[in-house]
Amino acid sequence: NAGVTQTPKFRILKIGQSMTLQCTQDMNHNYMYWYRQDPGMGLKLIYYSVGAGITDKGEVPNGYNVSRSTTEDFPLRLELAAPSQTSVYFCASTRTRGGDEQFFGPGTRLTVL
């Protein structure tokens, strides 16, 4: 199993550009999450999904969108990139909600200039 994979690893965007961060897991997990990690701030939840077709906002959803058309994929969309979205983005998945270990991808480092 590859676990949780994320692409790209690095990306530089100009203000106002859009992009999609890809996340795929091959563990047949129902729950998937997107976090952003800023220096000294820990991880903040952006969006999560409890299964295909079901998504919900986390702590910091503004400026982002998600979709979940399959169990495996959970892409994160930035429509109008802003410097405040410069961060490291992590995707994670877990089998159930009840405290199962979250498996994390390697992260995407995004810079918006």
Partner 1 sequence: AQSVTQPDIHITVSEGASLELRCNYSYGATPYLFWYVQSPGQGLQLLLKYFSGDTLVQGIKGFEAEFKRSQSSFNLRKPSVHWSDAAEYFCAVLEGNDMRFGAGTRLTVKP
Instruction: Please say which residue, 23 or 78, places its beta carbon nearer to partner 1.
Output: 23
Q: Which two tokens stand for residue 39?
A: 């220096």
List the Cα angle 101/62/104 in 5-degree steps.
20
The sign of the dihedral angle between the CA atoms of 103, 76, 5, 111 is negative
Round to whole Å and give the CA distance between 94 and 109: 22
**Stretch 37-56: interaction string toward partner 1, x if CB under 8 A:** ---xxxxxx--x-x-----x
CB of 1 to partner 1, least distance (A): 15
Q: Does residue 104 interact with partner 1 by CB under 8 A?
A: yes
Q: By CB under 8 A, name the binding residues for partner 1.
A: 4, 31, 33, 35, 40-45, 48, 50, 56, 58-59, 90, 92, 97-99, 101-102, 104-107
